[in-house]
């Protein structure tokens, strides 16, 4: 089946008449929060972060409030911050947010000496990590499906 350029021009004009053409300019808007130099092990932070990747915003809050780890409090603050960024910068509703990406990277290590008996010192390593949480809006995907459905109905009629 060969599609003529005139047919494509008609489709583009139809999309411009409806607001779907204008709305789809930048669909993948993301809001993120970055926490740096959090004094936790990156390995322990990943253990919690892996549980919440791909979950909705509300489900993530429930997961973090019920987990008994020390890591959960800084991550909870980051999730709140990312949601506030999403609602303020992009006018997203908090109910339609989900966690699309999470990254935990190793930060700086502070080396100290703990004084011990007979004038010795034992080394202590305090690790830190950087956590990045990215939120996306799901309402765009729902909007896209309904617009395609309406366009199909117009074609049939």
Q: What is the pLDDT of residues 78-121, one digit of tens each?
A: 999 999 999 998 888 898 899 999 999 999 999 999 999 999 99
pLDDT of residue 75 exceeding 90:
yes
pLDDT for 22-53, tens place per residue? 444 445 678 999 999 999 999 999 999 999 98
pTM over 0.75: no
Number of H helices, E strands in the chain: 6, 3
Helix (H, G, I), strand (E, B) or coil at 97: strand
| Adjacent-strand bridge partners of 22 | none
At the fourth CATH level, the homologous superfamily of domain 28-156 is Ribosomal protein L22/L17 (3.90.470.10)
**pLDDT class for 155, splitting at 50, 70, 90?**
low
pLDDT of residue 22: 46
């Amino acid at each position: 089946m060969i599609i003529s350029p005139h047919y494509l021009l008609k489709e583009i004009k139809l999309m411009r008449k409806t607001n779907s053409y204008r709305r789809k300019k930048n669909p993948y808007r993301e809001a993120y929060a970055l926490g740096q130099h959090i004094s936790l092990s990156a390995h322990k932070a990943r253990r919690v972060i892996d549980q919440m990747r791909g979950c909705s915003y509300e489900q993530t809050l429930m997961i973090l409030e019920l987990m008994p780890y020390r890591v959960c409090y800084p991550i909870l603050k980051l999730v709140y911050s990312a949601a506030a960024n999403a609602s303020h910068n992009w006018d997203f509703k908090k109910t339609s947010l989900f966690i699309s990406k999470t990254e935990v990277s190793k930060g700086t290590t502070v080396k100290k000496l703990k004084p011990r008996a007979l004038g010795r010192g034992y080394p202590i390593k305090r690790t830190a990590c950087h956590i990045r949480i990215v939120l996306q809006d799901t309402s765009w995907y729902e909007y896209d499906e309904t617009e395609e459905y309406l366009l199909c109905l117009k074609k049939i009629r």
